[in-house]
């Protein structure tokens, strides 16, 4: 089965980054599986949607769809089940199942999310969201999770020509922040997300959700941490990080991208 892979530059860039050799001036967050438990809900939605359209989705196929935008998921399904497979119907049914779970109050923020965002607020550290989800879904889920307004810069799949594992989302986020990619820290949970951030030239911290870390991920990542509390502790240990963030805020405000 053909699966989207990261550009060759991702491996070269990811291998070259070492322990915050450049000052970290901004944070770029993934959303699904990193801030929100949506990957678990999506997997359950796919499981429930399969019988509706007559497709038996294995756990392996569901795993391949983690961190993959909808257009790439459609291609993956057609490659796996054949050109006549009801891929669009399956994705639509899965979306309905996801909405039902969100409406039932099953959407949750991941442990440490609010504490990390509060820390960034207090230290005036610029941040952005770079997600494979569409904009309407992104705003709906952020609102349902109590995170509406948490990101003044939100880059979605609707804003770029290519989704993860390509670097476009992270490059656009860095551009809107006004910070070079190598001075942004990306937070990711999925393989494709890590590949995308590394291809953009960003140091990456992986916080695994449904996908366990692999040797490839360890090559790309600065660290692999158990939750966002551990990410917060990592940032707090970085000497001078808050001072660098204050300097970044002053520069960003001049450019009109500071977080008030």
Catalytic residue among 18, 30, 158, 246: 30
32 is catalytic: yes
DSSP-derived letter for residue 110 is P
| CA–CA distance, 67 with 196 (Å, rounded to integer) | 11
Residues forming beta bridges with residue 28, ordered by sequence position:
128, 186
Closest CA to 197 of 163, 159, 231: 163
The verdict on whether 168 is a catalytic residue reads no
Torsion of CA 178, 23, 154, 31, to 10 degrees: 170
42 and 94 in contact (C-beta within 8 Å)?
A: yes
All residues at 6 or more sequence positions from 112 whose CB lies less than 8 Å from its CB, including other chains: 227, 228, 229, 230, 231, 232
Q: Among 32, 168, 189, 209, which one carries the catalytic annotation?
A: 32
Residues taking part in catalysis: 30, 32
């Amino acid at each position: 089965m053909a699966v989207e892979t990261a550009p060759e530059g991702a491996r070269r860039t990811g291998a070259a980054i070492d322990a915050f050799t450049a000052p970290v001036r901004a944070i770029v967050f993934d959303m699904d599986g990193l801030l929100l438990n949506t990957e678990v809900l999506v997997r359950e939605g796919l499981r429930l949607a399969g019988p509706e359209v007559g497709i038996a989705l294995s756990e392996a196929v569901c795993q391949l769809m983690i961190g993959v935008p909808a257009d790439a998921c459609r291609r993956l399904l057609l490659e796996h089940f054949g050109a006549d497979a009801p891929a669009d119907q399956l994705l639509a049914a899965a979306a309905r199942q996801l909405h039902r779970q969100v409406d039932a109050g099953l959407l949750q923020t991941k442990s440490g999310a609010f504490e990390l965002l509060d820390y960034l607020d207090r230290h005036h550290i610029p941040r952005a969201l770079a997600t494979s989800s569409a904009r309407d879904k992104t705003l709906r889920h952020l609102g349902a999770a109590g995170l509406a307004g948490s990101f003044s810069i939100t880059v979605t799949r609707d804003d770029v020509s290519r989704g993860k594992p390509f670097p476009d989302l992270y490059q656009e986020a860095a551009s809107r922040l006004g910070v070079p990619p190598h001075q942004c820290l990306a937070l990711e949970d999925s393989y494709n997300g890590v590949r995308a951030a590394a291809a953009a030239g960003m140091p990456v911290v992986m916080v695994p959700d449904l996908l366990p870390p692999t040797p490839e991920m360890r090559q790309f990542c600065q660290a692999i941490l158990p939750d966002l509390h551990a990410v917060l502790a990592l940032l707090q240990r970085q000497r001078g990080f808050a001072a660098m963030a204050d300097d970044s805020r002053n520069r960003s405000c001049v450019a009109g991208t500071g977080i008030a």
